């Protein structure tokens, strides 16, 4: 039961879109260099309304997928040790990604993109799942939920620094308010107690935010699923080696829940969710996509109640409503900022 409680907040999640392997048709986007754009949509300003709605929906699907990671990890820990689970998760996800990349004959990314892919791999594929799984050996779900609540704000800050996006003051007010609601809720539920796993959790927060930011940037120049696909391929040798070392050292007790949890965190959490997440970030921007993730801890609580039978306090629905209001505010400020930027571009004189 300890593993179930703690793992409810253990990793990041992703869902797999097996049907969306073909690139989205470019509508009004200008062509890119062949090695950079195998049909990927460009920045959202060219067709503002439809890509914004689609990007929001895709990012939201990613959040739903991420919210299922923790219960799935709890199930996986019934059968595998933490190191074995993370290694097997990465290995299976990389094999799935490799099959997709081969099936569509995806071009190998340009050399200049491999550094960014390494950041994605280290932060999202390995770092966050490993650090949170280790932290959850001693920390509770509430403590890990604090990290998840801070992740959107951290991603927005790193995204602004990395991509040059400058959200408005109203955006930051709404984002900070949403983060405060999530943190206040989780700390109140845990009584404010801290554990030795906090260093793991804060480390996971930083590496995951860096991976999200770099993945969102790369998803502007290549399909989002290929971003996570090549990042997984980059990790495959290390994942196979980790599996070979961890499995003999940690006990394995196969159960239906354990196998199902492993399959989900590999195919869903580590591939599909990150696919739709990066695709959504490419269309609506890193800061606004990151704020949708404010709902993740509350969704995780709902899945924990439904799938693991954990109790959810009466404060959860109130916190959920408050977070959704903050998310709506960040989305509204984002739409207003896009409209102002579009008007500014149209008003510029054309130089001959």
Per-residue pLDDT at 32: 41
pLDDT at 223 over 60: yes
From CA 86, how far away is CA 238, in angstroms rounded?
A: 11
From CA 322, how far away is CA 135, in angstroms rounded?
A: 28
Dihedral sign, Cα of residue 227, residue 229, residue 234, residue 239:
positive
Using pLDDT thresholds of 50, 70 and 90, give the confidence band for residue 12. Answer: very low
Element (H, E) at 104: none
pLDDT at 104 over 80: yes
Which one, of 237, 180, 232, lies nearest residue 211 by Cα? 232
In degrees, rounded to 5, the angle at the alpha carbon of residue 132 between the alpha carbons of residues 55 and 288 is 20
- Cβ burial, residue 343 (10 Å; 0-12/13-18/19+): exposed
In degrees, rounded to 5, the angle at the alpha carbon of residue 129 between the alpha carbons of residues 128 and 131 is 65
Using pLDDT thresholds of 50, 70 and 90, give the confidence band for residue 201. Answer: confident
From CA 275, how far away is CA 225, in angstroms rounded?
A: 4
Q: Return the axis-axis angle of helices 296-303 and 169-190, rounded to nearest 10°.
A: 30
What contacts 1, CB < 8 A, 6 or more positions away?
A: none
Other Cβ atoms less than 10 A from the Cβ of 29: the count is 19
**37-47 mean pLDDT:** 41
Using pLDDT thresholds of 50, 70 and 90, give the confidence band for residue 351. Answer: low
pLDDT digits 0-9 by tens, 79-94: 999 999 999 999 999 9
CB 131 within 8 A of CB 204: yes
pLDDT at 70 over 70: yes
CB 96 within 8 A of CB 271: yes
Side-chain-side CA neighbours of 204 within 13 Å: the count stands at: 28
Other Cβ atoms less than 10 A from the Cβ of 350: the count is 4
Which one, of 113, 87, 350, lies nearest residue 226 by Cα? 113
Using pLDDT thresholds of 50, 70 and 90, give the confidence band for residue 283. Answer: confident
Per-residue pLDDT at 184: 81
From CA 201, how far away is CA 199, in angstroms rounded?
A: 5
Per-residue pLDDT at 2: 40
pLDDT digits 0-9 by tens, 312-347: 777 777 877 887 788 777 766 665 665 666 666 666
Which one, of 103, 24, 102, lies nearest residue 278 by Cα? 24
From CA 213, how far away is CA 207, in angstroms rounded?
A: 10
pLDDT at 121 over 90: yes
- Of 62-76, 123-137, 238-252, the range with the highest mean pLDDT is 238-252
Backbone Cα Rg of the chain: 20
């Amino acid at each position: 039961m300890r593993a179930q409680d703690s793992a409810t907040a253990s990793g990041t999640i992703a869902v797999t879109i097996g049907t969306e392997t073909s690139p989205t048709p470019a509508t009004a986007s200008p062509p890119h260099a062949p090695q950079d754009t195998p049909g990927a949509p460009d920045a959202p300003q060219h067709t503002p309304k439809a890509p914004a709605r689609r990007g929001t929906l895709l990012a939201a699907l990613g959040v739903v997928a991420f919210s299922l990671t923790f219960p799935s990890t709890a199930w996986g820990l019934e059968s595998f040790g933490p190191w074995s689970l993370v290694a097997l998760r990465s290995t299976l996800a990389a094999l799935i990604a490799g099959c997709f990349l081969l099936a569509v004959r995806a071009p190998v990314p340009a050399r200049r993109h491999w550094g960014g892919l390494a950041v994605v791999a280290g932060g999202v594929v390995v770092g966050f799942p490993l650090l949170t799984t280790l932290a959850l050996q001693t920390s509770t779900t509430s403590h890990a939920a604090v990290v998840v609540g801070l992740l959107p704000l951290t991603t927005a800050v790193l995204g602004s620094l990395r991509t040059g996006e400058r959200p408005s003051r109203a955006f930051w007010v709404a984002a900070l308010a949403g983060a405060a609601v999530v943190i206040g809720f989780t700390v109140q539920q845990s009584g404010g107690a801290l554990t030795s796993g906090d260093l793991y959790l804060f480390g996971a927060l930083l590496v995951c935010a860096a991976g999200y930011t770099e993945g969102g940037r790369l998803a502007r120049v290549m399909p989002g699923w290929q971003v996570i696909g090549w990042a997984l391929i980059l990790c495959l040798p290390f994942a196979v080696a980790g599996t070979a070392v961890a499995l003999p050292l940690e006990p394995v007790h196969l159960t239906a829940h354990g196998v199902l949890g492993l399959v989900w965190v590999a195919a869903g959490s580590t591939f599909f969710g990150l696919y739709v997440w990066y695709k959504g970030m490419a269309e609506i921007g890193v800061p606004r996509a990151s704020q949708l993730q404010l709902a993740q801890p509350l969704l995780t609580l709902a899945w924990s109640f439904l799938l693991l039978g954990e109790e959810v306090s009466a404060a959860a629905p109130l916190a959920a409503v408050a977070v959704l209001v903050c998310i709506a505010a960040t989305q509204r400020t984002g739409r207003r900022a896009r409209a102002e930027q579009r008007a500014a571009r149209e008003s510029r004189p054309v130089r001959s």
